Amino acid sequence: MTGHARMERLPSPGGLGEAQLRDTQKAFDSVAADYDGPRGNNELIQRMRGTMWKTIGDVLPSGSRLLDLGCGTGLDAVELARHGYEVVASDWSPAMVERTRMRATEEAVGSKVSAVHLGVQQLHQLGGRFDGVYSNFGPLNCAPDLRAVANECARLVRPGGSLVFSVMGRVCPWEVGHYAVRRRFGRAGIRFARGAQSVGMNGHTIWTYYYMPREFYAAFEQHFELAGYRALSLFLPPPYMVDRYRRRPAWYERLGRMDDRLGGLRWLRDMGDHFLIVMHRR
């Protein structure tokens, strides 16, 4: 996810309850109208989105039936529909679902995209069979029970099918540096904290878990084989620092090329703003 500012510990160490899920829903409802702007789709986000699209294209052929978890305004679903995929696009925010539905209609892919109001905690309500499931920019960081999501994905995805997820990681050197020099040490270390963290957006709260890639994969490994993972925005800064990028785009593009070339290396892929992980159904 992008643009997070305020964070603190969940008062009780338990999982996310109904109240926290509603907080997150309200937060995203409140930004849905302008989420295609700098907050949700700036140059740094578009760069990561491009890597996501390429990865989906590499593992799932056009014509596949896909499930999008946390579709936002439907940018990915509509792009994939344009390339011949059939997408069930789901989100916990009704306002985001409406944006997706409108975008699909406007872009004349309404018959390929079905937008549904469904949280990742409600996947047991969804039927059907999918060739793959994808989730972009951290919706799974908001899942109250990642193992339950993994079990539902196992039920929904055919053997040999794929999962492609971009997830907010724990080790983001840019973020640590950014807040440490401002002496905001609690904020600098927030991704290392255990349990759900409260993250401010637009005067609302998003409840967020952060993961190391291996920690994330542990929830899925019973049913899914790990194909690989890579860092996204390790050399480039996180999207909320887009102003830096805009001041010196050519210089930052060089860092972007380093992300492309080196983000999959063993000692680097555990870091970055997000990681992109691919798994196959056993």
Identity of the residue, 41 or 162, whose beta carbon is nearer to ligand SAM in the bound complex: 41
> Contact between 152 and ligand SAM (CB under 6 A)?
no
> Contact between 201 and ligand SAM (CB under 6 A)?
no
Dmax of the chain from CA atoms? 51
Indicate the pairing of strand 197-201 with strand 204-208.
antiparallel
CB of 1 to ligand SAM, least distance (A): 4
Contact between residue 236 and residue 199 where contact means Cβ atoms under 8 Å apart: no
Nearest to 199 by CA among 223, 227, 175: 175
Q: Which of 51, 64, 100, 121 binds ligand SAM (CB under 6 A)?
A: 121
Tokens of 232: 């996204």
Q: Which of 132, 139, 213, 239 binds ligand SAM (CB under 6 A)?
A: 139
CA distance 63 to 212: 32
Identity of the residue, 91 or 131, whose beta carbon is nearer to ligand SAM in the bound complex: 91
CB of 144 to ligand SAM, least distance (A): 7
Residue labelled with tokens 């490994």: 221
List of residues 6+ apart from 138 with CB closer than 8 A: 1, 70, 166, 167, 168, 208, 274
Identity of the residue, 5 or 265, whose beta carbon is nearer to ligand SAM in the bound complex: 5
Chain residues 7-36 in contact with ligand SAM, contact rule CB under 6 A: 21, 24, 28
Give me the residues that bind ligand SAM (CB under 6 A), please: 1-2, 21, 24, 28, 40, 70-72, 75-76, 91-93, 96, 119-121, 136-139, 142-143
